[in-house]
Amino acid sequence: MNITVIGAQWGDEGKGKIVDYLAADAQIIVRFSGGANAGHTIVIGNEQFALHLVPSGVLYPDKRVILGSGMVIDPEALFDELAMLESRGINWNDRVFISDRAHLVLPRYREMDRQMEAARKRPIGTTGRGIGLAYSMKASRDGVRLADLSDEDRLVNLEEKDIEYIKKWRGRLLALAIDLPSFLYNHKNNYTLFEGAQGALLDLDSGTYPFVSSGMSGAAGAAAQGGIGPRKIDRVLGVFKAYSTRVGNGPFPSEFDEHSQSSLCQFIRDTGREYGVTTGRPRRCGYLDLVALRYACLVNSIDSLVLTHLDVYDTLDDFEACVAYKVNGKLLEYFPAGIGDLAKAEPVLRKFKGWNKAVKHTRAYEELPMEAREYIAFIEEYCETPVDIVSVGYERSDTIVRKSPWTR
């Protein structure tokens, strides 16, 4: 059985926590997009792990994890991360693999990423990890895949210093290389999770272009870039927070306030620990944007939603969610492509009652406060998609499963 897990907002929805949780019942986890721009956090007891490139199932001793064909891999970042895991007692030998169709991030891509940002009048706010460059090189057919590393003929167009760099890493990279489609075919009876990075609204095609990342972070990426055909995916899960966050620039209609000075923004940021895992940047915060979430469900065929960070709202008397936009005085109930429209969009807000109760230790859905269940029921109705899992804290065990995605 194959399940795809994507972020349904602008990233950092808690994909790492959810993939780690669901991985208990899987044998294989494939990360299908992005690179070291991602930061996926997993908390188990007193231990916290921040993963950038290695898929989130790696903390279990017996799961096989694969960096998929759609990823762009910075070898230094990867082997630093693997060394970090090893130093913390995670033995990854013989169970971390890389698709030989995955592309490399070369050091000059990182430099160019930073230079291009500095030259932009309206910077994107990239993570500076060379991600956009790696995907541009791939699209312009000047990229380097793992499969090319031992083929001297494929390297002739590169600069001398690129070749030196490649030679330095090639042995270690090729030791982990696999042909992903045949690997998945040979393990077709396994339970496999396809782990997305970034989020639906950072997807190159469906996101808030140009304020997006450059990979396929939507559900389609799992098939195109995970090494499997689209009809083999049994279920798509979309992870979203009880509120919204965004790192970097770009439109954010339900943002609390442009300069993040409001007490509500400060409260959410502190309570939800809303600081970037990769860059440490404070995240911009806002109410849940249901217009955007419904759009994410629609364009990604999300079968069921996973709500995280419900606990962050525990102490609020009331809160709001965005149910439509007003653009130039006109009501808009869909997510527009135009950045100008989104930037101008004023959120139409609906009020919800808070529950004033800690939900962290709740494990049965029926035991959640009535007000929390009413909020969830509204989201389900608005998005025409069930919320099957609710996360009530950052630890692995702080999870309520209404319906396991593994049951057919």
Tell me which stretch binds ligand GDP (CB under 6 A): 40-48, 70-78, 106-114, 221-229: 40-48
Question: Does 14 help bind ligand GDP (rule: CB under 6 A)?
Answer: yes
Out of 27, 43, 346, 371, the only residue in the binding site for ligand GDP (CB under 6 A) is 43
Which partner from the list ligand GDP, Mg ion, ligand IMO, none does 129 bind, CB cut-off 5 to 8 Å by kind? Answer: ligand IMO
Among 35, 39, 57, 130, binds Mg ion (CB under 5 A): 39
Count of residues for the chain?
408
Nearer to ligand IMO, 7 or 227 (CB): 7
Handedness of CA 293, 371, 321, 318 (dihedral sign): negative
Distances (CA, A) of 352 to 228, 253, 320, 368: 42, 19, 6, 15
391 is an interface residue for ligand GDP by CB under 6 A: yes
Note if 12 is an active site residue. yes
DSSP string, 365-402: GGGS-HHHHHHHHHHHHHHTS-EEEEE-SSBTT-EEES
Contact assessment for residue 36 and residue 77, using Cβ atoms and an 8 Å cutoff: yes
Q: Rule CB under 6 A: say whether 131 interacts with ligand IMO.
A: yes
| Count of residues near ligand GDP by CB under 6 A | 23
132 touches, from Mg ion, ligand GDP, ligand IMO, none (C-beta below 5 to 8 Å by class)? ligand IMO
Token pair of 326 as six digits: 């007003």
Active site residue 311: no
- Residue 377 CB, shortest distance to Mg ion, in Å, is 28
User: If residue 299 lies in a helix (H) or strand (E), which one and from where to where?
Assistant: helix 290-300
Q: Is residue 393 close enough to count as binding ligand GDP by CB under 6 A?
A: yes
Q: Is 20 in the site for Mg ion (CB under 5 A)?
A: no
User: Contact between 35 and Mg ion (CB under 5 A)?
Assistant: no
Q: How far from the centroid of its chain's Cα atoms is residue 336's Cα?
A: 22
Angle at 246 between CA 9 and CA 214, to 5 degrees: 70
298 with 285: CB under 8 angstroms?
no
Taking the complex as a whole, how short is the minimal distance between the CB of residue 404 and ligand IMO, in angstroms? 24
**Binding status of residue 313 toward ligand GDP by CB under 6 A:** no
**Residues 12, 74, 203, 388: which is the catalytic one?**
12
Q: Which stretch binds Mg ion (CB under 5 A): 7-15, 175-183, 219-227, 337-345?
A: 7-15
Q: From the candidates 20, 40, 148, 398, which is the catalytic residue?
A: 40
- In the structure encoding, which two tokens stand for residue 170, read together? 């090639």
Q: Is 210 in the site for ligand IMO (CB under 6 A)?
A: no
What's the rounded Cα separation, in Å, for the pair 217 and 204?
8
How far apart are the C-alpha atoms of 197 and 216, rounded to whole Å?
A: 9
Question: Alpha-carbon distance 271 to 124, whole Å?
Answer: 27
Does 336 bind ligand GDP (CB under 6 A)? Our answer is: no
Residues 240-279 vs ligand GDP: string with x where CB under 6 A?
--------------------------------xx---x--
Residue 12 lies near Mg ion (rule: CB under 5 A): yes
213 near ligand IMO (CB under 6 A): yes
Least separation in angstroms between CB 52 and Mg ion:
9
Distance in angstroms (rounded) separating the CA atoms of residues 400 and 185: 32
Residue 6 to residue 301: CA distance in whole angstroms: 11
Say if CB 362 and CB 370 are below 8 A apart.
no
Please count the CA atoms within 13 angstroms of the CA of 41 that sit on its side-chain side: 20
Q: Which of 154, 142, 226 has its CA nearest to residue 183?
A: 226
Are 194 and 226 within 8 A, CB to CB? yes
| Residues within window 33-62 making contact with ligand IMO, judged by CB under 6 A | 34, 37-40
Under rule CB under 5 A, residue 248 binds Mg ion: no
Q: Which of 12, 20, 74, 388 binds ligand GDP (CB under 6 A)?
A: 12
Which listed option, ligand IMO, Mg ion, ligand GDP, none, makes contact with residue 202 (CB within 5 to 8 Å by class)?
A: ligand IMO
Task: Give the alpha-carbon dihedral of 75, 78, 82, 84, to 10 degrees.
Answer: 110
Interface with ligand IMO (CB under 6 A), residue from 78, 96, 124, 233: 124
Residue 13 in the binding site for Mg ion (CB under 5 A): no
Binding site for ligand GDP (CB under 6 A): 7, 11-17, 39-41, 43, 272-273, 277, 308-309, 311-312, 391-394
Binding site for ligand IMO (CB under 6 A): 7, 11-12, 34, 37-40, 124-127, 129, 131-132, 197-199, 202, 213-214, 247-248
Catalytic positions are 12, 40
